[in-house]
């Protein structure tokens, strides 16, 4: 497989399928011999962004760090898949501006479906006021106005969403299997 380095940035609410679809794409790319890394928001927070909270400033700092690492990987020929809520449009736009090849993927899902599939009960606790600054409940999420790719994880099977992402990457000439 021929490919150039690029960043595939999955944004969406917690539980919307960012990591699931990102991992599916990563596995498929690796089977074709591509160099791929995934930066999962939860993993990054425990390593690269340890000590940051969930204020807007801390969230922006976290996304800037992820953006820096993803751009570094992409410019060195690695496909970097980012799966991070990244709730604020302005910071996503800032990260995009620092990339040569940045593809925004919006993992869309209705709140009712997210609550239903939430095994940790985080949405329920947030709705009860037991978790503050919870994105999509007590803290805003600004959906992308014009993402390169969008899927609806509440209406599509994961395989359908992954195929939609894959087909768009081919269409954009970022991969040529």
Active site residues: 86
The tokens of 110 are what?
Answer: 């209705």
- How distant, in Å, are the alpha carbons of 53, 132, 139 from that of 107? 24, 23, 18
Q: Which of 171, 177, 172, 147 is nearest to 18 (CA)?
A: 147
CA 162/CA 132 separation, integer angstroms: 32
- Chain Cα centroid distance, residue 46: 17
């Amino acid at each position: 497989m021929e490919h150039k380095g690029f960043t595939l940035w999955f944004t969406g609410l917690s539980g919307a399928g960012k990591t699931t679809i990102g991992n599916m794409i990563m596995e498929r790319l690796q089977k074709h011999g591509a160099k791929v890394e995934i930066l999962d928001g939860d993993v990054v927070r425990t390593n690269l962004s340890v000590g940051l909270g969930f204020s807007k400033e801390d969230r922006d700092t976290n996304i800037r760090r992820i953006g820096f690492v993803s751009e570094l990987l992409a410019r060195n020929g690695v496909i970097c898949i980012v799966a991070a809520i990244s709730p604020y449009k302005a910071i996503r736009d800032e990260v995009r501006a620092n990339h040569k090849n940045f593809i925004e993927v919006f993992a869309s899902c209705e709140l009712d479906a997210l609550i239903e599939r939430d095994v940790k009960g985080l949405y329920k606790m947030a709705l009860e006021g037991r978790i503050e600054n919870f994105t999509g409940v007590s803290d805003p999420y600004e959906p992308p106005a014009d993402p390169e790719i969008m899927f609806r994880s509440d209406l599509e099977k994961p395989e359908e969403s992954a195929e939609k992402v894959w087909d768009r990457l081919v269409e954009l000439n970022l991969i040529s299997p």
